[in-house]
Structure formats: C-alpha cells, structure tokens
Chain A
Amino acid sequence: MPHRQSLSALNRMLATGGISSTEITTHFLDRIEKNQQLNAFVSVDREQTLARAQQADHSRRNERNLNLKGLPVALKDIFCTQDLLTSCGSRILSNFVSPYDATVVERLDKDGFFVLGKTNMDEFAMGSSNESSYFGPVLNPWNTARVPGGSSGGSAAAVSARLAPAAIGTDTGGSIRQPAAFCGLTGLKPSYGRISRYGMVAYASSLDQAGPITQSAEDAALLLQTMAGFDSRDSTSLDTAVPDYLSALNTGLENVRLGIPKEFLDPSIDPEVLSTIETALQEFEKLGAKLVDIELPNSGAGIAAYYVIAPAEASSNLSKFDGVRYGHRASEFSDLLDMYEKSRAEGFGDEVKRRILIGTYALSAGYYDAYYLKAQKVRRIIANDFSQAFKQCDLIAGPTTPSTAFPLGKNLDDPVSMYLNDVFTVPVNLAGLPAISLPAGFDQSGLPIGLQLIGPYLKEANILSAAHAYQKVTDWHQRIPGDYE
C-alpha cells in the first residue's frame, strides 16, 4: 500500500519500476477524497495532478530518466502556485490565483516532486492550532476532537493520516515543529536563509522559513536537499554551499554532546511529556551521545519578544492586502479609505487583526523604543545564549511543546494562552537556528509527543543524522493513527 511507505521508499520503488507515479498519485488522491472530514486540504485538482503523474511516468519510461521522480507532495497554502489557488487560509486571498510559482515549488518540480494539493493552515500562518483558517479548523488524525497544531496543521494532518507521503510547511515561531509534535511526525525548520522565501507569502520576514513535514529524518533530508540553496530573488537567501544531507545521515551519535537546558525541563510541563523526553534522551545515550547540562537563561523571554517582533513585521507585510490589485475587495464603499478599511475588515479574521493591531501599536511613534527596539535587544541576548551553549554541546535537546495536542476550542477565548504553546520553539526562530521535532512516544491517551533537537547555524546535517540514528532503533515515526492505517 503506497500510503504505508515513506517518501524515500516510494522513491526507491519508482526507480526500480516497482510502482508508477500514476498508481501512487491515484492512491493518495482517493484517500484525500475519502477523508475530507479532517479538512486538511483547501485545493486539490485531481485531473491536473493525475496528468502530472502520467507525464512523469512517460518521461521516466521514454527518456530513461530515472532521476525524474514523479512523487506527489502536499504544499501549505502559503506558497504561490500558478496551477492552484493560494489562499493563506484567508478570505482576503480566497480568490487569489498567483501569476508565478514560488522558488520552493520550482525546485521541487525540477527534482520531480509535484503538488498533490494545497493544505489548510492558520490564517497567514498566525496560530498554533489551525483553528483560525477561513476554511475551518483541521482535525488531528490521532484524535479528531483535538487540534493538529498550527500554523501548518493541514500539512501535518495530511501526512499523519497518510493522505500524502510528505508535505512542505513554514515555521515562524514553531509552525512546522509544533504540528509535527502533535501529529507524530518529523518536522524540520532549517537555518534562516537556507531555503528561499521567494513566492512564500510573508508573515514575519526575519523569522519565516519553509521546511519539510515528513515521516522520517531520511524523508526530510531528501526534501531539504531539493529545496535548499541560494536564490538571487530572495535578498535574505544564503549564498553558501548546500551539503549532501543524505550521505551525512549515517554519521551516528558517538561522542555527540547533547545539551539539555534546565529551562526546557520546567515542572509546569505535562509530566508524561517530561518522562517521555527523559526516556528518549536515555536512548540517545545508548547510541553514544553524552548528555550535558546547559543553560538558556533568557529563553523564557522569547515569547514576549516574539509577540512584538512577529506582529510588528506582519503589520507591515499585510499592508499589501488592500483590495486594489488582487484579492478580496469590498463590494460597497464610500471612498478610498473606506474601501481599504472595509476590504481589510471583511478579508481578515480575528487573530490576524489582533496581530496587525498590536504590531502597528508597537511600531507607532512613542512606543517603538519600548517595544520593538527592546524586543530586538532581547532577541540578541537569546541568540547569544545559544552561542554560549553551543560552546559546551553540539546539539540542544528538549520537548518541542509543553503538552500534547489540546482540545479544539480550548485556547480560543484567551489568545495569550494559545501563545504559551510556543515557549520552546520561538527562541529558535529568534536566533535563526535550525531545529527538528521528531516523534518520541505517546501519552496514555495515545497522543504523540515530540522531541526537539536544535543545532548551530547551518548544521542541518548534524540534526538530521542524530534524528536518523534515533529512528533506526525506535519506531515511533512509523506509527499510523488507527483510522488511517
């Protein structure tokens, strides 16, 4: 059954002729159609996607080009695609057909991956539960009364329920890693600048990064290899060589120093999460890693700094949505100002409005120094803490989230309670570092628990090989929710 195979396994089967792209794609399209209750997808075009698969099969057979994979991958609806709508989970872009493809889409295409469908997400990537989408909430395949996490909730639910063999998401404050943790998946946020942001709708430009949400570190390495690299169209893209992530996978953990920050083992964390992480760390020790106690003394201020910087940058980025050139325009208005105010009031949901308002406030005259500038200084201190820590260890480990997936509706009355989910993920984005969440076990009610590994800047290969080593001796990452086996 194609949905029980990892992306890497499907890739090998395609290369040996054991399966065709058409068979794989038909199988996943059928599963998507049968499982619409999860609400993981916003747009799927069966005809177009099958045509793409058939084209791949034809090319592989006729041109004898075995490098042309022909593998379908789900794509978060934040990446511009010419062939499908790009909604960003918002009413304001619910009719938006992009005139160009994102670099991520072009790179995937060049390596033989094509878009299975566009996945649901928290509106404009602002959220930790995928409950703020204009298209409705996404459900967690492990327990449909629970959230899948956010903002890449649709991508995570799709892979978790094996409606897609892998997906691409984005991470600004944890939006790949937290849903990966809640859904039992392997989600990687690369170093800032590693993957081009051209064509990826901006939320917070100094924090956003695309990344894979997959069944394994091996699958994540395969997709990272495809997407990473310099792009002259993104002014923040790194002009640095891309290592061979796949051949580095089997480096192993011998003498790797794993730093455990005491701030990440806070007693307020769910006790089952804590004990699962502790068991996982013992497994890393058996594989040769050395556990080292470290400190990240200012990481607790990460959330405070993030909820100034991200909304401030968002307030600037989202000012382009004004109903003039594309997207939703109000049908009735008295003048230009009224057109702007009505189009944006109708087009944006509550959480987006909250963040634009707080961001605008933080940047406004009289408050800029106290909030935005202060937050940028706190950001530097947090980044410095990581640099110091990496003098004593090679990777940093801890829980990805303080709890397992919470119930739908639980944090909606109090935005701040929702924000506290990001306490372990946000400092990583502030420092621009790479990090992965991998499945480390389940709680007693059967909900997945994620372990986070953080690496120094540009050390994705080290993170992936550590995760791979753990996944060779455990099988958490191979578990599929009962209803989707």
Chain B
Amino acid sequence: MSISKSDVERVARLARIGIEPHEAERYSIDLSNILTLVEQMNKIDTEGIQPMAHPQDITLRLRDDEVKEVNKRDKFQAIAPAVNQGLYLVPKVID
C-alpha cells in the first residue's frame, strides 16, 4: 500500500507540520516503505483477539477529589515565548 503526495500533505496538515512540495515527495516514499514493513502484521490472524493497550490491562486509577496542586502560573510562564498579564500571546484567531 503506498502513500501518495496528497496523502502526505493531508496528514501533515492534520499534524500541523509545514512541509514543502519536494519534502512531500520524499516523505511519500519513506512512509510507503514504512507501511510495507507494517503490513507484515497482516500475516497474523487476529480473529477474536482483544486489543492490548497496556501490558497489565490496567484501568485509570481514581483519587479523592481534593486539591493538591498550587498555582504556579508565573513560574510556568517565565519560559513562554510571549505572555501578557498571565495570558499566552498568539496571533489573533477571531476577527
């Protein structure tokens, strides 16, 4: 199964990674080769098998609804590219 240049462009848009047309070309070859490797899975009969997300099939642990974290906003925002009055600055989204 091969991945076309337009598949790459669609997926790159989903992943929010900007790619140039010549890169899309190269990635379509690389990704098609990876898919060929991945398709070896089809040799295995998985009829009736439950998917495994975790080696011990654990489910998410719950805890009591009590506040344990303190507000560290200033510390976290000290390393931000652009902040103002506790808000992260980004290009305007809504006109």
Main secondary structure of the interface of A (DSSP, over half): helix
Q: Is the CB of B17 within 8 A of A374?
A: no
From A97, A307, A308, A353, contact of B79 by CB (8 A): A97
From A304, A315, A322, A345, contact of B37 by CB (8 A): A304
Q: Is the CB of B34 within 8 A of A354?
A: yes
Main secondary structure of the interface of B (DSSP, over half): loop
Task: Please measure, in the bound complex, the distance between the C-alpha atom of A196 and the C-alpha atom of B7, giving whole angstroms.
Answer: 38
Q: Which residues of A contact B58 (CB under 8 A)?
A: 193, 236
Kindly provide the distance from the CB of B29 to the nearest chain A CB, expressed in whole angstroms.
10
Q: Which residues of A contact B44 (CB under 8 A)?
A: 298, 301, 378, 381
Assuming the contacts A340-B16, A356-B17, asked whether A235 and B33 have C-beta atoms less than 8 A apart, the reply is no
Task: Please measure, in the bound complex, the distance between the C-alpha atom of A226 and the C-alpha atom of B60, giving whole angstroms.
Answer: 25
Q: Is the CB of A301 within 8 A of B54?
A: no
Q: Which residues of B contact A376 (CB under 8 A)?
A: 51-53
Q: Which residues of B contact A414 (CB under 8 A)?
A: 33
Q: Which residues of B contact A433 (CB under 8 A)?
A: 55
Task: Please measure, in the bound complex, the distance between the C-alpha atom of A208 and the C-alpha atom of B77, giving whole angstroms.
Answer: 28
Q: Is the CB of B49 within 8 A of A206?
A: no
Task: Please measure, in the bound complex, the distance between the C-alpha atom of A432 and the C-alpha atom of B52, giving whole angstroms.
Answer: 11
For A351, give the chain B residue with the smallest CB separation: B30
A residues contacting the other copy or chain, number (CB 8 A): 68
Q: Is the CB of A235 within 8 A of B16?
A: no
Q: Is the CB of B53 within 8 A of A206?
A: yes
Stretch from A149-157, A170-178, A324-332 forming part of the interface with B: A324-332
Asked if B70 is an interface residue, CB under 8 A from chain A, the answer is no
From A326, A342, A357, contact of B8 by CB (8 A): A357
Assuming the contacts A341-B18, A357-B11, asked whether A336 and B93 have C-beta atoms less than 8 A apart, the reply is yes
Assuming the contacts A324-B90, A344-B18, asked whether A377 and B56 have C-beta atoms less than 8 A apart, the reply is no
Assuming the contacts A304-B38, A416-B37, asked whether A344 and B91 have C-beta atoms less than 8 A apart, the reply is no
Task: Please measure, in the bound complex, the distance between the C-alpha atom of A353 and the C-alpha atom of B8, giving whole angstroms.
Answer: 11
For B81, give the chain A residue with the smallest CB separation: A329
Q: Which residues of B contact A354 (CB under 8 A)?
A: 27, 30-31, 34
Task: Please measure, in the bound complex, the distance between the C-alpha atom of A375 and the C-alpha atom of B42, giving whole angstroms.
Answer: 9
Map CB proximity to B onto A59-100 as digits: 1 under 8 Å, 0 otherwise: 000000000000000000000000000000000000011010
Kindly provide the distance from the CB of A370 to the nearest chain B CB, expressed in whole angstroms.
9
Task: Please measure, in the bound complex, the distance between the C-alpha atom of A339 and the C-alpha atom of B72, giving whole angstroms.
Answer: 26
Asked if B67 is an interface residue, CB under 8 A from chain A, the answer is no
Q: Is the CB of B37 within 8 A of A303?
A: yes
Map CB proximity to B onto A356-379 as digits: 1 under 8 Å, 0 otherwise: 111011101000000101111111
For B89, give the chain A residue with the smallest CB separation: A324
Q: Which residues of A contact B7 (CB under 8 A)?
A: 361
Q: Is the CB of A322 within 8 A of B16?
A: yes
Q: Which residues of B contact A341 (CB under 8 A)?
A: 16-18
List 24 A–B pairs whose Cβ atoms lie within 8 Å, in order of A's numbering.
A99-B72, A192-B54, A236-B54, A298-B44, A304-B39, A304-B41, A323-B81, A324-B90, A325-B77, A335-B92, A348-B17, A357-B8, A358-B31, A361-B11, A373-B51, A376-B52, A376-B53, A377-B46, A378-B46, A381-B44, A414-B33, A416-B34, A416-B36, A433-B55
Known: A319-B16, A324-B80, A334-B91. 13 other contacts (CB 8 A): A99-B76, A192-B56, A235-B60, A301-B40, A307-B34, A324-B81, A340-B16, A344-B15, A354-B31, A357-B11, A374-B41, A377-B46, A457-B55
